[in-house]
Amino acid sequence: MNYLNKDIKQKYDIFEKHAIIISIFLIILTCSVYLQTKNNDFVSVDDNFYVTENEHIISGITLENIKWAFSLSGEEKNYWHPLTLISHMLDIQLWGLDAGKHHLTNLFLHIINTLLLFLVLRVMTGSQWKSAFVAALFALHPINVDTVAWIAERKNLLSTCFWFIVMLTYFNYTKRPSLIRYLLVVISFIMGLLAKPMLITLPFVLLLLDYWPLDRLSFSHIGSGSSIQSHKSVISSLGDLLKSRVILDKIPLILLSFLSVYVSTLSLKLSIYVNIISYEQIPIGLRIGNALVSYIAYIGKAIWPHNLAVYYPFPQSIPFWQSFGAFLLIVFISAIVIVTSRRHPYLLVGWLWYAGTLIPVSGLYQSGIWPAMADRWAYVPFIGIFIMVAWGVPELLEKWRLQKYYLFTLAGASLSILMIYSWIQVGYWKNSDTLFEHCIKVTVNNDVAHLWLAKTLIGEGDLDGAAKHCNEALKVAPNDKYINLIMGEIFIMKGDISKAVSYYTKAILIDPTYEDAYNSLGVAYMHQKRFDGAIKMFSKVLEIKSENASANVNMGICLESQGRVNEAIHYFNNALQIKPNLSEAHYNLGNALLSQGKIDKAVEQYRKVLITDPNYWDAQQKLIKLLANKKSSDVLKKGPDFINNLHQ
């Protein structure tokens, strides 16, 4: 017996040593692909919204910002995922706006996710090398580059980390059930939902794991005996199942999932940045057709990950044969995995994992700029495909001579190819220009990519290049109000006000409730000194949305130009009630107060400008002149260095 125990211990020690070596190897492989992201920049899609231009994020972790993160609505946020927002605040607290460090945080989370996936599958299945291969595919597959190389996709990385923690705590709970262990499952699940509501499908995945590999759920006894006995057996078994711990364990998690869906939907409805796309805009038939085709397209990218892009345009239509053919193929695969489920349960679990976890992002419910499909959405679903491959291929080659040699060669070759593709794909994320240029190259009729590149070029001062790409976008979507708006902005910056007015007017004709177009048209009229027309435009904006801070400021400027200073002050104060730190509102309020001879109050407003924006030149100059004219001895003693401390 002692020899037996010693032998078991020796095998266990070797098992653990192999696990450590595999983990180190996974870290090295992942870093070899993704460490180059430390030289990448922020990109101009979502990174600005979530980090670089988000006042709540760039001011770091404060009690006020944490409250904002947990609120359902507010400026500079879309759907509710407070834990992710706090993680961005923490990055700012640690690294400031050093893009490379933010990228390294994403890489760190991807490595943690890879190791957790390896650990979870290893302890659940007892199969070390197959688990390692799944983890390696997860770490190195190019489909996951979007999630890792895009700082704004922190939500995907963070929520997936908690996804695996839930799986691990659930496994521990199933081995030795207790209230404490179950509470750890629930708490981990809640944390994941706070990072991203993608975890709503996790209770379903846990049920799959109960079937395989945990073997807590079995239907092997159903269907035996006579027909009458078989029906009774099915009914009895289903009744027992519904009352069993396997189902009861999931009920609190399912209820939390419903709550998360409700909160997320409510936050989207309250958001000023995200519009829910109605079924009138994109019919349900087209959504279903695109979902079916996408399910097969994702599988294609799993096998051959070429022409990957940050955005795939949603189709205007889908031929019936494509959607019906995709439907038949899905049914065929489903039938095969069901028929073979007793002998190959991992096929059923892997397929249902893939199919089930894609449902929330299938496009049946849409909001914002919704693509036909997105690489980042496959981060968790592809694990199901990887499981099917890792367990299926060895069984397929089971009777081959030199099976281990072939498996090792095949695994090494496939991982090497994936690493090369991923390395190249990460390079496209170097900056916004390379990202969107590649996107345009590998897709067709991509108005969104042209628009994103145009906005990037505007920021770089290349107005001609921006106009070119806006024109390309308009060829695809001539009646897109936002593209017309951006084209108007380009011509404003080029000094061609008349052309800008024509594009703003077209945007308004497309959508008579488009407040941004009215506001921009009012600004264009201000450039032409047509203040009466501008006032009408700003009035229209405020009629649509009175909380528009920019329109309140612009209205005040117009009224002040007409000598209606008291009315102007009213609108400047309105803007500051909406956005207390709005520099333009403080500056123009200071100007209005100065015109009334209220020097002290004007000085106070200019100081507030410099608190928010210390480099606001006009406010600096006016404040210096005002303080100098007061001939304050304290000011004169401080001299020219005084301005350096104005914002303190």
Domains of the chain, CATH where assigned? 10-427 (no CATH), 576-648 (1.25.40.10)
Alpha helices in 141-280 (DSSP H): 145-149, 154-175, 179-195, 202-211, 227-243, 245-248, 251-270
Dihedral of CA 574/579/584/586: which sign? positive
For residue 384, pLDDT over 80 is answered with: yes
**Both tokens assigned to 272:** 């000023």
Each residue of 116-167: pLDDT tens digit? 999 999 999 999 999 999 999 999 999 999 999 999 999 999 999 999 999 9
Report d(CA 210, CA 175) in Å as an integer.
Answer: 12
Contact 49, 273 (CB under 8 A): yes
Each residue of 483-523: pLDDT tens digit? 999 999 999 999 999 999 999 999 999 999 999 999 999 99
Residue 381: name the closest of 400, 361, 399 by CA. 361
What per-residue confidence (pLDDT) applies to 268? 78
What per-residue confidence (pLDDT) applies to 233? 52
Q: Which amino acid is at 538?
A: F
**pLDDT greater at residue 259 or residue 10:** 259
What per-residue confidence (pLDDT) applies to 420? 97
Please list, in sequence order, all residues whose beta carbon lies within 8 angstroms of the beta carbon of residue 585, skipping any fewer than 6 positions away: 549, 552, 553, 556, 572, 575, 576, 579
What per-residue confidence (pLDDT) applies to 81? 92
Q: What angle do CA 39, 44, 48 make, to 5 degrees?
A: 95
Residue 311, CA distances (Å) to 154, 451, 481, 489, 606 in order: 18, 12, 19, 24, 43
Please list, in sequence order, all residues whose beta carbon lies within 8 angstroms of the beta carbon of residue 334, skipping any fewer than 6 positions away: 351, 355
For residue 639, pLDDT over 50 is answered with: no
- Neighbouring C-beta atoms of residue 168, cutoff 10 Å: 18
**Both tokens assigned to 438:** 């590649």
pTM score over 0.85: yes
Report d(CA 103, CA 113) in Å as an integer.
Answer: 15
Each residue of 12-54: pLDDT tens digit? 555 678 899 999 999 999 999 999 999 999 999 999 999 999 9
Report d(CA 110, CA 242) in Å as an integer.
Answer: 37
Rounded average pLDDT over 612-618: 88
SS3 647: coil
Rounded average pLDDT over 567-584: 92
Each residue of 158-207: pLDDT tens digit? 999 999 999 999 999 999 999 999 999 999 999 999 999 999 999 999 99
Please list, in sequence order, all residues whose beta carbon lies within 8 angstroms of the beta carbon of residue 309, skipping any fewer than 6 positions away: 375, 438, 439, 442, 443, 446, 449
Report d(CA 99, CA 107) in Å as an integer.
Answer: 13
pLDDT band with cut points at 50, 70 and 90 for residue 4: very low
Q: Please state, for a pLDDT cut of 70, what percent of the chain lies above it.
A: 89
Assign residue 371 a region (left: φ > 0; alpha: ψ between -120 and 50; beta: otherwise).
Answer: beta
**Both tokens assigned to 382:** 């592809």
Report d(CA 370, CA 315) in Å as an integer.
Answer: 11
Report d(CA 66, CA 194) in Å as an integer.
Answer: 13
pLDDT band with cut points at 50, 70 and 90 for residue 2: low
What per-residue confidence (pLDDT) applies to 648? 39
What per-residue confidence (pLDDT) applies to 644? 43
For 343, phi then psi, to 5°, come to: -85, -30
Report d(CA 21, CA 23) in Å as an integer.
Answer: 5
- Neighbouring C-beta atoms of residue 613, cutoff 10 Å: 17
What per-residue confidence (pLDDT) applies to 222? 42
Residue 39: name the closest of 108, 95, 103 by CA. 103
Each residue of 50-103: pLDDT tens digit? 999 998 999 999 999 999 999 987 666 678 899 999 999 999 999 999 999 999
Assign residue 285 a region (left: φ > 0; alpha: ψ between -120 and 50; beta: otherwise).
Answer: alpha
pLDDT mean across residues, the chain: 89
What per-residue confidence (pLDDT) applies to 633? 42
Residue 332's Cβ-count burial label (10 Å; 0-12, 13-18, 19+) is exposed
For residue 209, pLDDT over 70 is answered with: yes
For residue 9, pLDDT over 60 is answered with: no
Residue 404's Cβ-count burial label (10 Å; 0-12, 13-18, 19+) is exposed
pLDDT band with cut points at 50, 70 and 90 for residue 635: very low
What per-residue confidence (pLDDT) applies to 5? 54
What per-residue confidence (pLDDT) applies to 631? 54
pLDDT band with cut points at 50, 70 and 90 for residue 623: confident
For residue 231, pLDDT over 90 is answered with: no
Each residue of 307-364: pLDDT tens digit? 999 999 999 999 999 999 999 999 999 999 999 999 999 999 999 999 999 999 998 8
Report d(CA 27, CA 81) in Å as an integer.
Answer: 28
